[in-house]
A and B are shown apart, each in its own frame.
Chain A
Amino acid sequence: MRSYLPAYDMRVPLELDEALETMARAPGEWKPFAGGTDLMVLLEQGKLAHRKFLSVARLKGLYGFALTDDHVTLGAMITYRQVQATAILQQEFPLLCRAAYETGGIATQNRGTLGGNIANASPAADSPPALLVYDAELELVSARGARWVPYAGFHLDYKKLDMRPEEVIRNIRLPRTKKNWRQHYRKVGTRRAQAISKVCFAGAALVDGGEINDVRIALGSVAPTVLRCRKTEALLRGSLTTEMVRAACDELAREIQPIDDFRSTARYRTRVAQKLLAEFLLGLIAPPAGDRA
């Protein structure tokens, strides 16, 4: 433990109102702390800059679940394990289940939460690309009230969120519009389990009679934030041709901004991102449930 522990404080309120009031009193003084799977690592390494945390992991108000004809609404504190076990998500939002399955080991999946993962804002997080593809919305709540924002655009820059310091994420809402879309998710990590992604791809397309009518492409680990690739998407309309695949791959390389770090190289990330896009697109014209091999 490289941190000076007596300098770190945590409160564990049980009611959301109480937590929001504490946060409203001096915005930014108390920061929300969910499953801790990332913040505790920073604490261990002596790199946790903020000192006062408000545990949100037990706030009953953050555990909602609602299913309507149009939406699935998940409380922000839903864990990765719960995501995987939720039937409606398995049926209509398989990319999210896959992302949850590929995040850490079982112990991490039992503690890590979807809301925490979003707020932690790692560009390498596994679930956000899926959430972007699904056009997720976030409900942000503070003592002053609640507001819904689209998830796309929520990450302004590296670790910078479009959220006020007195707000927490209460709900994540997924429109039930992608059920009949062809969907594809692939995480390329440093190993098969318990890995941080080097490139993470999520894609979905509405295909009708061989024509692409609508498409979503999102990637992780290739930019300062998880990235919805709208310029690439814009090229993908109508019947898929080899030229279109090539143009989309070229555009993707311009749209992402990968870096060299100790996990991988920018060259590798670019090349694999392109290949994953191509794999997704070629899969659209292949018969469904086709084997990669």
Chain B
Amino acid sequence: MQSDSMADRFIGKSIPRKEGRAKVTGRALYVDDMVMPGMLYGATVRSPVARGRIRGIRYAQGIPWDEFTIVTAQDIPGKNCVALMLNDQPCLADQVVNHAEEPVVLLAHPDRYLLEEARRAVELDIEPLPAVFTIDESLARQQVVWGEDNIFKSFLVESGDVESAWGHAHLIVEGEYETGAQEQLYIEPQGMIATFTAEQGLTVWGSMQCPYYVHRALMTLLDLPVNQVRVIQTETGGGFGGKEEYPSMIAGHAALLARKSGKPVKIVYDRMEDMAATTKRHPSRTRHRTAVTREGKLLAMDIEFVVDGGAYATLSPVVLSRGTIHAAGPYFCPNVRIRSQAVATNFPPHGAFRGFGAPQSIFALERQMDQVAKVLGLAPEELRRRNFVKQGETLAVGQVVREKVDMAGLMERALELSDYYAKRKRFAEENPRREVKKGIGLASFLHGAGFTGSGERYLASLVGAEATPEGRVRVLAASTEMGQGTMTVFSQIAAEALGVDYDMIEIVQPDTAVVPNSGPTVASRTCMVVGKLVESAVLGIRQQLLSSGLLPERYTSEQFRQACRQFIENHGALKSSSEYSAPPGVYWDDDKYRGDAYGAYAWAVYVAEVSVDLTTYEIRVDDFVAVQEVGRVINPVLATGQIEGGVAQGIGFALYENVVWQEGQMVNSQMTNYIMPTSADLPPIRVFFEEVPYAHGPGGAKGIGELPIDGPAPAIVNAIENAGGVNVNRIPVTPEVLMEALEGVHA
């Protein structure tokens, strides 16, 4: 970065990633790259059955068991739970198991090969109990596997009066839609290292999104005070939600082994264990009943949305909440009812995954919109155009859209960029002659940034800033870098606010002994919510310098440095902090489940073009256009990369990624058999931003991370229907699924 002029601007510039050089040279340190003196390796013995009563644990002969540290539920000093929301999930199963792969025994040993032999030599004697594996079985309550009724959470959204609307409808269209589990498949598996001493307490290092979640879980599990637990995030090789809640589990395991052995313990999962045992996206089923007028206006939407939460609650209540709120989409409809439930089954708990319930309910809605259009004889884009919510109108949960929004404009741009109209016409002409049919489809959607409902108010996030004697500004936040660009974007926001060189900003490694709790790194909140706090925290530094008279109103980076140095000489330290407060007028009523569900929404229209090969039933996405309005774009290259990556995951969700279950166990828990897209499978992903600055985001930015996974699946399946005339309502649309659907039609 050159020149010390105040005219330097960082927001809106594609500044290279702050830790980019460390990553391209292999110097970035991930948890498995760390070794500690005397370190043991830890392993987890897991339940082979989905539900049962533990009768005994046997340690087979031939293993020098006296060399091993062995931990069971009886060794837990605090509360045996992974503290999160309902605290229902044990850290180690005790007496009963509720899902396959549930952890029961922990082992540690310095020899990792012997450790594997030992893991195989622990025999769990479990008396199987009947288990529940479908949403319907869970709702029927033939087996109650959780609480009193298998229901983790339910919500009701009501606006207008759906029941009275049916009689006025020109048409009523019903549909049912299903989405499958999806593995986050971060390329770095879960891992933690823990050390424990009586004097210093517990320290863990590891791959995670939310250091303070881990911190609280460890305090609860080990019954330790705040200052006896320290959690440090190491370089994190992808998270996508998969490292939101699960790290608390593996950190707890490493901590228990470290406490019992008195030695550092590392647990790093291999891919099979990671895929089989950790959380996945909630499978879902959505039923729609939609009433429309003769003019193609939405009159009523009755939506039942159910997600499969797996064996324990984890984050299901909030996943359900986001999915529920997004279920009615970016449309205005006078009468809406959404009934939603998160139910228990005996799968490993499903958990956070980018989008957090919204991709599921949006898939259903956007497929339903195409069905409604078909029945009405309208083009899909025309039905949407007639129903998009406009500024000043109200969304289903009663939130008035105060921001400027132009969904019709976004859609026109997307249709133009994808050459939609001409292609639709051409494909219709050419398809009858082709063995490989072509289709084009779209999805229009919104995604709320930040925690749902009152989440941000309760969280009351904190960010700190401090100047160093060298005149650098350190940003202290618990928000983690996991590839999405936190360090770079925070640096840009801070440099912009201060008007100093980008290189003068330092983002402190998240360490609960050092940084305040800026909340979890989830929910597309880091840039918009925490970034705003970064901005105000560093402005606090500047304000102190201005007030002290050490800094003139207009200054260079060098003058800023000198002022910091002088201030610290005079006062000992220069610090500032900032705490979240809701933007004016934003209010959510928890009891009524109504109000401003999110501070701001990102808006988008995606268009997918596909080929459907009727020889092999393979579907290929040939082109993908993603147009979105996300407020001001802080770093175009990083933002584009976020969208492209999200779209790629969305394409996987739509076509390839199929978790195959057998008796509650994932049987394709290998990268060879769980299919994510390679570089040869993806189309050009063409990303376009409309920028409408958001008044309460840093530099005008809103959230971006989750948005791109909402749109691809419905756009692609709509395109498949356009290509082949077949109505597929469950994803992933594997060739086998498509074949069955087509044979159903043509048989």
Contacts and interface: CB of A to CB of B under 8 A. Distances in A.
A195 B735 CA distance: 14
Contacts of A292: 435-436, 615
B272 interface: yes
Contacts of A1: 112-113, 116, 270
B680 A193 contact: yes
A265 B736 contact: yes
B640 interface: no
A265 B660 CA distance: 12
A191 interface: yes
Contact of A46 (B116, B615, B680, B736): B116
B312 interface: no
Contact of A193 (B667, B672, B678): B678
Nearest to A272: B616
Interface in A227-254: none
A286 B419 CA distance: 33
Given A45-B272, A188-B618, A192-B680, A264 B736 contact: yes
Nearest to A193: B680
Interface of A: 1-6, 41, 44-46, 105, 186, 188, 190-196, 198-199, 262-265, 267-268, 271-272, 275-276, 279, 292-293
B679 interface: yes
B293 interface: no
B683 to A, nearest CB: 11
A262 B678 contact: no
B114 interface: yes
Interface string B583-620: 00000000000000000000000000000000111101
A262 B668 contact: yes
A293 B434 contact: yes
B677 interface: yes
B739 A271 contact: yes
Contacts of A271: 739
B677 A263 contact: no
Contacts of A190: 656, 673, 675
Interface string B635-673: 000000000000000000000100010000001100011
Nearest to B682: A192
Contact of B616 (A44, A188, A191): A188
Nearest to B677: A191
Closest 3 CB pairs of A and B: A193-B680, A262-B660, A192-B680
Contacts of A293: 434-436
Contact of B678 (A186, A188, A192, A276): A192
Nearest to A198: B735
B668 A272 contact: no
B554 interface: no
Contact of B114 (A2, A4, A275): A4
A268 B736 contact: yes
Given A46-B120, A192-B680, 12 more contacts: A1-B112, A1-B116, A2-B270, A6-B113, A44-B270, A191-B656, A191-B677, A191-B681, A262-B668, A264-B736, A265-B736, A271-B739
B75 interface: no
A192 B655 CA distance: 12
Given A262-B660, A272-B616, A4 B116 contact: yes
Nearest to A188: B616
Interface of B: 112-114, 116-117, 120, 270, 272, 434-436, 615-618, 620, 656, 660, 667-668, 672-673, 675, 677-681, 735-736, 739-740
A96 B440 CA distance: 36
B670 to A, nearest CB: 8
Contact of A276 (B615, B660, B673, B681): B615
21 contacts: A1-B113, A4-B117, A5-B113, A44-B270, A190-B673, A191-B677, A191-B681, A192-B678, A192-B681, A193-B680, A193-B681, A194-B680, A262-B667, A262-B668, A264-B736, A265-B736, A272-B615, A272-B617, A275-B615, A279-B615, A293-B435
Contacts of B616: 186, 188, 199, 272, 275-276
Contacts of B735: 188, 198, 264, 268, 272
Nearest to A268: B736
A1 B119 CA distance: 12
A168 to B, nearest CB: 27
Contacts of A264: 735-736
A185 B236 CA distance: 42
B116 A267 contact: no
A240 B660 CA distance: 42
B179 to A, nearest CB: 19
A10 to B, nearest CB: 16
B675 A191 contact: yes
A279 B672 CA distance: 28
A249 to B, nearest CB: 12
Contact of B675 (A45, A188, A195): A195
Contacts of B673: 190, 196, 262-263
Contacts of A265: 736
Nearest to A3: B116
Given A46-B120, A262-B667, A293-B436, A267 B112 contact: no
Contacts of A2: 116, 270, 272
B381 to A, nearest CB: 27
Nearest to A199: B616
B133 to A, nearest CB: 16
A268 B617 contact: yes
Contacts of A105: 678
Given A4-B116, A262-B668, A268 B675 contact: no
A75 B668 CA distance: 35
A265 B668 CA distance: 14
Nearest to A264: B736
A199 B616 CA distance: 9
B679 A193 contact: yes
Contacts of A188: 616, 618, 735
